[in-house]
Amino acid sequence: MKDEFKPRIIGFLCNWCSYAGADLAGTSRLQYPPSLLPIRVMCSSRVDPLFVISAFLRGADAVLIAGCHPGDCHYQEGNYYARRRFACVRKVFETLGMESDRLRLSWISASEGPRFANVITEYTEKIKKMGPNPAKKNIFL
């Protein structure tokens, strides 16, 4: 069991909703796999596609962007832009024959501690099945 694959997921969590949601999951003592490496951003729209690609090529098994539900953005409309940008990055991945399932966009509000724990648990399981990111061992990036 020593060599069991433990996915590493980079998570860009928006300050106002998803990061607070993660906090709530913690203070509620909900259990979820320790696979997420959270990075707090002020808004999901702060995430440049380059951040996602960088994380992916550096060997993250998956990249999660999480923000406020549509309509609830602290800055009114940031998450709508983020969604378009995300759709674009996913399409680029798909068209180049790369695994777009390693990228995920989830809406998690500040009150959704259980949902946060669920998303991480479920996504970790999925990535576990997909196996490690092939970029991890490639030296010619």
Query: Which residues of the shown chain bind another protein in the complex (CB under 8 A)?
Result: 49-50, 53-54, 57-59, 70-71, 77, 80-81, 83-92, 94-98, 104-107, 119, 134-141
User: What gap in Å lies between CA 1 and CA 31, rounded to an integer?
Assistant: 21
- DSSP state letters, 31-66: ---TTEEEEEES-GGG--HHHHHHHHHTT-SEEEEE
Q: How far is the CB of 58 from another protein (least distance, A)?
A: 8
Comparison of 19 and 27: residue with beta carbon closer to another protein: 19
Comparison of 111 and 138: residue with beta carbon closer to another protein: 138
Comparison of 31 and 76: residue with beta carbon closer to another protein: 76
- Three-class SS state of 100: helix
Beta strand 62-67 pairing with 103-107 = parallel
**97 - beta bridge partners?**
none
CB 14: neighbour CB atoms within 10 A? 30
Comparison of 27 and 48: residue with beta carbon closer to another protein: 48
Q: How far is the CB of 98 from another protein (least distance, A)?
A: 6
- Three-class SS state of 9: strand
Q: How far is the CB of 67 from another protein (least distance, A)?
A: 10
Q: How far is the CB of 64 from another protein (least distance, A)?
A: 11
